[in-house]
Structure 1
């Protein structure tokens, strides 16, 4: 797949000196959650990973051991052996609820502003730079979104579309920003905490963006991208408000009435 080297450069980029085994494990785990690494895919060898991350072999082995304990990867011996992705991490609903509880409405709005800016720039550049094969790939990913049948699969399909869109824009900085944003919001967006998110609507909006890019219509592509991100953030805000209301206790009502 043409985008693989670009994705690998983000997943396995060198770590700062203070980041160690748990950060490696988290980065690989996030890459799996976002669909950048798929079930059945073999990771690079331990020596290759150590060099990519810029860490000692022992540190890398600790990270892989942590992932194995969580059942995310497994290591097989023999000629066709290696470390393979066996399942995506399951979204922890309590962590998703805590994220929304601790994130203010202003912060969610600001998150939407940032994501809208990244998405608008990405689709504009994709109009100029994406080749037909990349657009075919994006269309396939959009259609796969409609077939995703679990919250985890829906989150992976959604994230992978947006990340591959940034790949098509040929901007490593935009791709890094998109990966960071998807890592922050993707699972909470798709975890059904207070109503399910519409995978059919998301897939339809993705297909409309691809069609606008095919027509080389950056104005339409940007408008569609902004509407898509706005709907995502409205869903998060609605979910937060709904959870805030349902989590209220009689004591809260008494305190506010005093």
Structure 2
């Protein structure tokens, strides 16, 4: 993702919320946690967020104030002011939008959803005639993820998966994958981040992206499935010890 307001809208676009404040909080917090608005980056203006989310500016203002109190964003005044994501995003917070019950049952549910959504996204992305800008964005995000240090890896990993969902051509798929990545990351936070596993994950990402860029839908789907099953096996191994 390149961080434009249009791309951010893909992630935070809302179906009509039953509770406007809670829905706004969820979308903004997801966008920050999943790296769509990265550390140090400025949020869109309140009026733009209100338009994207189809809520009032008062609702947006209230949600941003809550995020500021929780340590996710900071407001700056002046010519280059605005609301910015903090440089060090909190690892733990009282703000919980996932509702996940962590354990092997959650792993199985998440893995099934990943097979349905993310394998299909990779297949569809590989089947499309991607533009030069789309191909460049995919290559750039892969390079960022592969070269990232451990603290940034999950955020950049999520950004790569979300871009693949976007490249499927279905704007409706992106919010679904965003919700799913929130649950995936909640599970991954419960297990150690091991360098051999990160290296293996990077190699799988490279295979997925290579297949998409080469226009090989079935190869892209197979590579994504291998990636998902590898993550699931790792999660089962660690989380089953605690049940």
Question: Shorter-normalised TM-score: what interval?
Answer: 0.7 to 0.9
Post-superposition Cα deviations, 1:188-243, rounded to whole Å, max 9, x if no partner, equal 32x26356372211111111111112222212111111000111111221121123
Map 1:15-164 to 2 at 5 A. 16-87=16-87, 89-92=89-92, 102-103=101-102, 105-129=104-128, 130-151=130-151, 153-164=152-163
Q: Secondary structure of the residue that 2:172 maps to in structure 1? A: helix
| Structure 1 gaps, min length 5 | 245-258
Post-superposition offset of 1:34: 0.7
- Equivalenced residues, count: 239
TM superposition shift of 1:16: 3.2
| 1:48-107 alpha-carbon deviations (Å, 9 max, x no partner) | 2223323333222211111111221111222222111123533339999xx88x445344
Q: What is the distance in 2 between the residues matched to 1:192 and 1:111?
A: 15
| Greater relative contact order, per chain length (Cα 8 Å cut-off, separation 6+) | 2
Q: Is the 8 A contact 1:38 1:85 kept in 2?
A: yes
8 Å Cα contact 1:41-1:85 kept in structure 2: yes
Counterpart in the other structure of 1:217: 216
Judge conservation of contact 2:191–2:235 (CA < 8 Å) in 1.
Answer: no
Query: Cα gap change, 1:143/1:242 in structure 2, threshold over 3 Å: closer, same or farther?
Result: farther
CA distance in 2, matches of 1:218, 1:94: 41
**Conserved in 2, the CA contact under 8 Å of 1:75 and 1:83?**
yes
Q: Match for residue 240 of structure 2? A: 241
TM-score (norm 1): 0.80
Contact 1:32 1:88 in 2 (8 A): no
Between stretches 14-23 and 156-165, larger displacement belongs to 14-23
Structure in which a larger fraction of residues adopt helix: 1
Question: What SS does the aligned partner of 1:172 have?
Answer: coil
Q: Report the 3-state secondary structure (helix = DSSP H, G, I; strand = E; otherwise coil) of the residue aligned with 1:200.
A: helix
Aligned to 1:227: 226
Alignment check: 8 A CA contact 1:194 1:243 kept? no
The root-mean-square deviation of aligned C-alpha atoms, in Å, is: 2.8
TM-score, scaled relative to structure 2:
0.85
Instruction: Measure the CA separation in 1 of the matches of 2:95 and 2:232.
Output: 18
